[in-house]
């Protein structure tokens, strides 16, 4: 072990159908839905086996060994002023100027959250970091540190895990945080578990339970794009790149979260399971009713074209698709929305979530244990 962690809080990790991962837009094809003649990707995850005595294939983790692997993994990690002691000891030491630490954790499992033939190691690293950093940001906190634990089969290429480490470090650095430790172990299924820490900087935490009747519901970031990318990849294609890219590597609006906290937002949540599902969490925790105005959520042309080509419903992608890690929040009606936020609904007395004043029929988002 190169560090340990405890005191984990937050909601259950979002789930995904077979093969959910996240990343930069795919440059392997044009930003359009492919013609039927385009090479299709396999529909099932391949089995990764290292050919015997093949010198062109990267060393496996079994050949490298645990301690060399940890050395190669941690060399990608930077540091910040908040890191008082980083990787290399029994535990890391991270400054907590506020005196309170915001903590959350998420797990990514191969075949459930990502597929290695659909995304690179760096993509998975970026996503594993982003899903946690978005949760910390949604609490109104400044992310400070990540801890990453990896369970890998013995035949996993060590080079792949280095790419994972680079992705983790890059996403953390984007918000001024650092990876400070974690753990490695052997197992039958490749699994990445990340814990994020954050500092409230003297502010009260922003929870799901603060929405009040009369508030406006606002959104920062994109929704529906990752769901579209998942549908495209599931059909065996690699474009439109904007959709596939959003699925591979989400881009949470980190700065918008801090701006909302400074403006006195009443409630906020990371949209990981689907807009309607996550607004439902706010409605339940706050004891209010929320109505979504679909006129404020126009379907982008690229999304609409892809959905039509696939025989899918782009509107459902927008309302129920997860993994974009946008932010949804309830603001007092008299607050000028910060830059990057747009009004999409309202809060009233009552319970539940409606769409244009009507009850939504069908799934509202992802449920790890209820969805086959």
Tell me the average pLDDT across 94-120. 93
Tell me the average pLDDT across 22-38. 36
Report residue 363's pLDDT band, with 50, 70 and 90 as the boundaries. low
How is residue 189 written in tokens?
């299924």
> Is 323 known as a binding-site position?
yes
CB 366 within 8 A of CB 273: yes
What pLDDT, on a 0 to 100 scale, did the predictor assign at position 34? 43
> Is 113 known as a binding-site position?
yes
What pLDDT, on a 0 to 100 scale, did the predictor assign at position 70? 74
CB 74 within 8 A of CB 3: no
What pLDDT, on a 0 to 100 scale, did the predictor assign at position 179? 96
> Is 270 known as a binding-site position?
yes
> Is 176 known as a binding-site position?
no
Dump pLDDT digits (tens) for 235-292.
Answer: 999 889 999 999 999 999 999 999 999 999 999 999 999 999 999 999 999 999 999 9
Please indicate whether the domains covering 61-199 and 216-359 agree at the CATH topology level. no
Q: Classify burial at 247, counting beta carbons within 10 Å of its beta carbon; exposed 0-12, middle 13-18, buried 19 or more.
A: buried
> For residue 38, is pLDDT > 90?
no
> Is 135 known as a binding-site position?
yes
Residues 6 or more apart whose Cβ sits within 8 Å of residue 368: 12, 13, 14, 15
Question: What CATH class does 61-199 carry?
Answer: alpha beta
> For residue 23, is pLDDT > 60?
no
What pLDDT, on a 0 to 100 scale, did the predictor assign at position 11? 33
**Which has more pLDDT, 336 or 360?**
336
Count of other CB atoms within 10 angstroms of residue 280: 20
> Is 366 known as a binding-site position?
yes
Dump pLDDT digits (tens) for 282-324.
Answer: 999 999 999 999 999 999 999 999 999 999 999 999 999 999 9
Dump pLDDT digits (tens) for 51-106.
Answer: 444 444 579 877 877 777 777 777 788 889 999 998 888 899 999 999 999 999 99
CATH of domain 216-359: 3.90.650.10
Distance between CA 316 and CA 313 in Å, rounded? 5
- Taking Cα atoms as reference points, which of 27, 21, 146, 153 lies closest to residue 83? 146
Tell me the average pLDDT across 199-222. 98
> Is 118 known as a binding-site position?
no
> For residue 15, is pLDDT > 90?
no
> Is 184 known as a binding-site position?
no
Q: Provide the mean pLDDT of the chain.
A: 85
Report residue 370's pLDDT band, with 50, 70 and 90 as the boundaries. low
- Taking Cα atoms as reference points, which of 301, 36, 83, 58 lies closest to residue 180? 83
How is residue 60 written in tokens?
């496996």
**Which has more pLDDT, 372 or 308?**
308
> Is 98 known as a binding-site position?
no
> Is 320 known as a binding-site position?
no
Q: Classify burial at 51, counting beta carbons within 10 Å of its beta carbon; exposed 0-12, middle 13-18, buried 19 or more.
A: exposed
> Is 90 known as a binding-site position?
yes
pTM of the model: 0.82
What pLDDT, on a 0 to 100 scale, did the predictor assign at position 48? 42
**Domain extents for the chain?**
61-199, 216-359
What pLDDT, on a 0 to 100 scale, did the predictor assign at position 3? 37
> Is 106 known as a binding-site position?
yes
> For residue 32, is pLDDT > 70?
no
How is residue 342 written in tokens?
């747009």
Report residue 371's pLDDT band, with 50, 70 and 90 as the boundaries. low
- Taking Cα atoms as reference points, which of 104, 61, 76, 105 lies closest to residue 193? 105
Dump pLDDT digits (tens) for 129-147.
Answer: 999 999 999 999 999 999 9
């Amino acid at each position: 072990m190169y560090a340990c962690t405890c005191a984990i809080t937050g909601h259950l990790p979002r789930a995904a159908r077979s093969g959910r991962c996240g990343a930069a837009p795919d440059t392997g094809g044009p930003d359009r839905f492919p013609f039927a003649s385009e090479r299709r990707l396999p529909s099932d995850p391949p089995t990764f086996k290292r050919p015997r005595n093949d010198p062109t294939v990267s060393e496996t983790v079994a050949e490298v060994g645990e301690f060399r692997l940890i050395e190669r993994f941690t060399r990608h990690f930077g540091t910040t002023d908040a890191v008082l002691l980083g990787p290399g000891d029994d535990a890391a030491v991270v400054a907590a100027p506020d005196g309170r630490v915001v903590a959350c954790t998420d797990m990514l499992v191969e075949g459930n959250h990502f597929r290695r033939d659909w995304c690179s190691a760096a993509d998975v690293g970026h996503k594993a970091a982003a899903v946690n950093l978005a949760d910390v940001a949604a609490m109104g906190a400044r992310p400070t540190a990540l801890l990453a634990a990896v369970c890998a089969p013995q035949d996993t290429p060590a080079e792949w895990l280095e790419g994972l480490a680079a992705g983790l470090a890059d996403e953390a650095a984007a918000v001024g945080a650092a990876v400070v430790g974690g753990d490695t172990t052997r197992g039958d299924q490749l699994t990445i578990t990340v814990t994020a820490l954050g500092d409230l900087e003297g502010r009260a935490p922003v929870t799901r339970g603060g929405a009040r009747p009369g508030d406006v519901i606002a959104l920062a970031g994109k929704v529906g794009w990752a769901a579209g990318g998942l549908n495209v990849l599931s059909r065996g294609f690699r474009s439109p790149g904007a959709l596939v890219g959003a699925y591979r590597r989400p881009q949470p609006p980190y700065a918008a979260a801090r701006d909302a906290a400074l403006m006195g937002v009443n409630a906020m949540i990371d949209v990981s399971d689907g807009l309607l599902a996550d607004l439902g969490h706010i409605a339940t925790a706050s004891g209010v009713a929320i109505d979504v105005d679909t006129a404020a959520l126009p379907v982008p042309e690229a999304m609409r074209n892809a959905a039509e080509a696939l025989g899918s419903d782009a509107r459902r992608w927008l309302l129920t698709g997860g993994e974009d890690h946008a932010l949804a929040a309830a603001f007092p009606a008299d607050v000028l929305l910060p830059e990057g936020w747009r009004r999409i609904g309202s809060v009233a007395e009552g319970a539940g979530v409606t769409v244009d004043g009507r009850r939504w029929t069908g799934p509202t988002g992802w449920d790890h244990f209820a969805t086959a």
